[in-house]
Amino acid sequence: MGFISRGFKGRREPAADSSRLPPGQYLVRDFPVLSAGPTPHTPLAEWSFTITGAVDADKTWSWEEFRKLPSETVTKDIHCVTKWTKLDTSWTGVAVSTLLEGIDTSADYVVAFSDGGYTTNLPLEDLVDGKAWVAYEFDGRPLEPEHGGPARLLVPHLYFWKSAKWVRGLSLRNEDEPGFWESNGYHLYGDPWREQRYWGD
């Protein structure tokens, strides 16, 4: 592939603190935009977030209801499987634990689904206990559509393809079902510290 844009590679920075850089990664200061399809522009009046799948009853929030949920602001390092790492990114959103409150499920896995048809799979335990958020602000400002706004999943301890842009809900599953990238070569779990990029890593 000869075509690599500036946005894809980002600007390379020397590692300030190598203990925060997973194997095979380099640091960027900008925020590269990755996109596997057209950017959705769902009006907030039509937006909703749904917990579905292996639950007794679906739970859905409108944008207005979602924004009234308790929020948290967190600072996290993010690691993209295309090898860039960005340190100290600031996000505001609703903890997934908050969204799952009162939901009784036997499921061990989740498929996050997004506008545009993107999906990604995760173990449920990786979304709870302060490990994941549905974020709607980046750096104190509303999340831009190109970065997944109005809201994206944020699971910073896994490669960033797991942090689904334009997320609209979580489907709880009893089996681990590969998502968009996981069904075509990318690792089912995707731990950057174990460099789990591809099948078999």
Is residue 35 within the footprint of other proteins (CB under 8 A)?
A: yes
SS3 197: coil
| Alpha carbons 65 and 63: distance in angstroms, whole number | 6
Number of residues that bind other proteins (CB under 8 A): 31
Binding string, residues 127-166; x marks residues near other proteins by CB under 8 A: -------------------x--------------x-----
**Closer by beta carbon to other proteins, 33 or else 188:** 33
**Closer by beta carbon to other proteins, 76 or else 197:** 197
Is residue 24 within the footprint of other proteins (CB under 8 A)?
A: no
Name the burial class of residue 192, with classes exposed (0-12), middle (13-18) and buried (19+) by CB atoms within 10 angstroms of its CB.
buried
Give the total residue count for the chain.
201
List CB contacts of 125: < 8 A, sequence separation 6 or more.
108
Contact call for residues 49 and 106 (beta carbons, < 8 A): no
Q: Would you tell me which residues interact with other proteins (CB under 8 A)?
A: 1-5, 7-8, 32-39, 81-82, 116-117, 146, 161, 181, 183-186, 197-201
